[in-house]
Chains A and B, each alone.
Chain A
Amino acid sequence: MKKRLALILASAMLVTSAVAGLASCKSGGAGGEGGSSEKGHVYYLNFKPEVDGIWQDLAKKYTEETGITVDITTAADGKYEETLASEISKADAPTLFQINGPTGLANWKDYCYDLSDAAVTKELTDKAYALNDADGATRGIAYVTESYGLITNTKLLKEAGYEITDITNFESLKKVAEDITAKKAAGEINFSAFTNASLTSGDWWRMQTHLANLPLYYEYKDGNVDPGVGLQEIKGTYMDNFRQILDLYLDNATCERSVAASKKIDDARTEFVNGEAVFYQNGSWEYNKDSGLMDMELGFLPIYIGVEGEENQSVCTGTENFWAVNSQASEEDIQATLDFLEWAVTDDEVTKVMADDMGFSIPFKNAKPVSNKLTLMANDMVSGGKTNVSWALITMPSQAWKDNLGSFMAAYASDKTDEAWDGVVKAYVDNWKVEKDLVAEATKD
């Protein structure tokens, strides 16, 4: 009997304390909001760890100028979706976050505020940088464009007896790469053509996303498909080209192809900076103070995969970085966030910081010209009449699709057989529809 009494008492106390706890939570929250309720506040969940510090400084500056608090939190590298999913459920959710394109928009559509009439949208240099939903309402704003291709150590290329202008298509790239491998084998030079392909899980995005963009881009191009919208089903027209470029990377690299699956991107970058390889497939984001690339003699080559007319192809420029404003935040917070964005893309000092310190190429009217050498080279190619390769990769079905593809590519690296390649083709082409269907099924209302 006493036991039961004790139990009842215990649970009663528990309930009261829990309720008290909740109540105190609530009053605390209300107090916090009370201070900013007239002005709102901004909470930005930043995607790019490399520029976290710079955003923090900008946030401080904004608070000094306007009195509005701006909190910046940066998700750990490669963990953005997870962080966003947990942060956005909180009472104090991010008011500003990032989505990676149509796939991200499908994922977060309930949280993306309609930016069609926002001031920041009107600042865009091109409507193509607005991410629209099926009804044509703008839900995301591209805030940085990036380029990737073959970053080339021109000094080493000269040592090997070539100029960067010698390479104009897959044939010439292959000739140069294989010649470098032959010369290395003969002991004439001590560097390889390509860095390792970094096919370890988590680090394989250079291959399973970025390199895989090229066959996809050409297939979309053939079918006049909008690379921002994509297809539910693909044919895999350029899978043989995909194979030959991957083989070229793997067979002329700093390491045996069978061990590429143990290498990380850091390894590849180190090899490139140490002059162990001439070509390093990566993008403009690598050009920063910490990477060591700023001190090198660099060239930037398109990734040629052996498609007809590719002499006129440029590097791949696009974005998977779109700002979205949390539609479920309070009205004041939404307004504060919109004001902050407008400030960020129009203020001279801020755009200068974004261009010079972050190395961003920002697609806004008032933006300062970029100083990133790789971006400048990419811009020159396009202004010189070459065709930009857009980022069709933003239409890839899901992370599961990408990881599965990476897995098969890694397996092919150590097992250069037709069977292993069939695995890659299945993971790319057949699994495309499977994953698209799974996602469509899961996101339909």
Chain B
Amino acid sequence: MGKTLQKNPLYLCMFLLPTAAAFLIGFVIPFGIGIYLSFCKFKTMNNIKLIGIDNYVQVFSGDQVFGQSFWFTALFAIVSTIAINVIAFMVAVLLTRNFAGTNVFRTVFFMPNLMGGILLGTIWKILFNGILTNFKQTLTSNGTYGFVGLLILMIWQQVGYMMIIYVAGLQGVSDDIKEAARIDGANDKQILFKITIPLVMPSISMCTFLTITNGFKLFDQNLSLTGGEPMHNTEMLALNIYNTFYGRVGYMGVGQAKAVVFFLLVGAIAILQLKLTQSKEAD
């Protein structure tokens, strides 16, 4: 039966078709149209004019905010990736020890991940402003507050998700190996760094991939927490693209071109990161 399934083209089609169709309609086609649109001037989809690379020229010469957004986003992605993964890993290590209530804690840590980004941003904005008002400041008084605020929000939201992946990875590490190491005289620190971490490396590359791309793509939380304030200081790439697209008459093509540049950037960085962490994975 297994053989028939693999070899029979009819079965193959039957099983592949729905996903392939969904992927084509929901991803490949819009993606292709998107790239085409980045070379066009358009207002709606019925009204498209090819104009060549003008939009791309605008991306790099038009306003300075895009460059500023890129550096802000890159910094945020790096800091948040490190912070989220370190914390998530620590929580996962704690919650794989045997004590009562680990499942309750895992659920609690995971829950923020179930909420929508806009909602989270709004809630945290109220919280932060509630505290900062006492010092006659607001979350948007300066860019650093916004950065730290976004960081806290993202850590709070994502640690739970990454923790689940790490928990799964950690549970796959056999106690036998650790016991053998202990008998050989390894201490806790050595076991962690020489045994556990190398063995959960696949989880680590998975999680760093997710967090770094999340960091770069961040939009909802950015929009609702700071809205890019003050003075575009906390405007990340995705929000900058959104503002370009809708901010001025006739700038949709430029926004689209920015989106393509954005895709190339995030793609390149993600591939680089995968190469880097995968090379450390134990076979």
Interface set of A (CB-CB < 8 Å, partner B): 2, 5-6, 9-10, 13-14, 17-18, 81-82, 85, 88-89, 103, 106-108, 110, 200-202, 256, 258-259, 261-262, 328, 397-400, 403-404, 407-408, 410-411, 414, 423, 435, 438-439, 441-443
Contacts and interface: CB of A to CB of B under 8 A. Distances in A.
A320 to B, nearest CB: 15
Contacts of A399: 246-248
A201 B250 CA distance: 23
Contacts of A442: 41, 248-251, 254
A258 B44 contact: no
A40 B157 CA distance: 50
B53 interface: no
Q: Chain A at the B interface: mostly helix, strand, loop or mixed? A: helix
Given A2-B9, A17-B17, A258-B141, 9 more contacts: A259-B132, A259-B136, A262-B132, A403-B247, A404-B231, A410-B229, A438-B62, A438-B251, A442-B250
Contacts of B140: 200-201, 261-262, 410
A414 B141 contact: yes
Interface of B: 7, 9-10, 12-13, 16-17, 20-21, 24-25, 41, 43-47, 62, 125, 129, 132-133, 136-141, 226-232, 243, 246-252, 254
Contacts of A400: 243, 247-248
17 contacts: A17-B21, A85-B44, A88-B44, A89-B44, A259-B129, A259-B138, A261-B140, A261-B229, A328-B46, A400-B243, A407-B232, A414-B138, A414-B141, A438-B248, A438-B251, A442-B250, A442-B254
A6 B14 CA distance: 10
B136 A13 contact: no
A308 B230 CA distance: 35
Nearest to B139: A262
Nearest to B235: A407
Nearest to B13: A10
Given A400-B243, A408-B231, A258 B17 contact: no
A18 B248 contact: no
B229 A201 contact: yes
A199 to B, nearest CB: 9
Contact of A103 (B139, B227, B249, B251): B249
Contacts of B129: 259, 262
A423 B232 CA distance: 13
A259 B12 contact: no
Contacts of B12: 6, 10
Nearest to A10: B13
A103 B45 CA distance: 21
Contacts of B21: 14, 17-18
Which 10 residue pairs across A and B have the least CB separation, nearest first? A442-B250, A400-B247, A201-B227, A262-B138, A6-B9, A89-B45, A89-B44, A262-B129, A398-B248, A107-B249
A442 B231 CA distance: 24
Given A258-B137, A258-B138, A410 B230 contact: yes
A110 B43 contact: yes
A435 B43 CA distance: 18
From A258, A411, A435, A442, name the one whose CB has the most chain B CB atoms within 10 angstroms.
Answer: A442
B243 to A, nearest CB: 7
A81 B255 CA distance: 15
A404 B228 CA distance: 11
B152 to A, nearest CB: 17
A106 B178 CA distance: 71
A85 B17 CA distance: 32
Nearest to A328: B46
A408 B230 CA distance: 8
A445 to B, nearest CB: 9
A85 B43 contact: yes
From A13, A85, A88, A262, name the one whose CB has the most chain B CB atoms within 10 angstroms.
Answer: A262
B133 A259 contact: yes
Contacts of B10: 9
A281 B141 CA distance: 24
A328 B43 CA distance: 14
Contact of A414 (B7, B16, B25, B137): B137
Given A14-B21, A414-B137, A414-B138, A398 B247 contact: yes
Contacts of A89: 44-46
Contacts of A85: 43-44, 246, 252
A15 B138 CA distance: 55
A261 B230 CA distance: 9
Contact of B136 (A200, A258, A410): A258
Contacts of A441: 250
Contacts of B9: 2, 5-6, 9
B13 A6 contact: yes
Contact of B141 (A17, A81, A261): A261
A403 B243 contact: yes
B58 to A, nearest CB: 9
Given A10-B20, A259-B137, A201 B248 contact: no
Contacts of A9: 9-10, 13
Contacts of A403: 243, 247
B13 A13 contact: yes
Nearest to B130: A262
Contact of B231 (A6, A200, A328, A407): A407
B229 A407 contact: yes
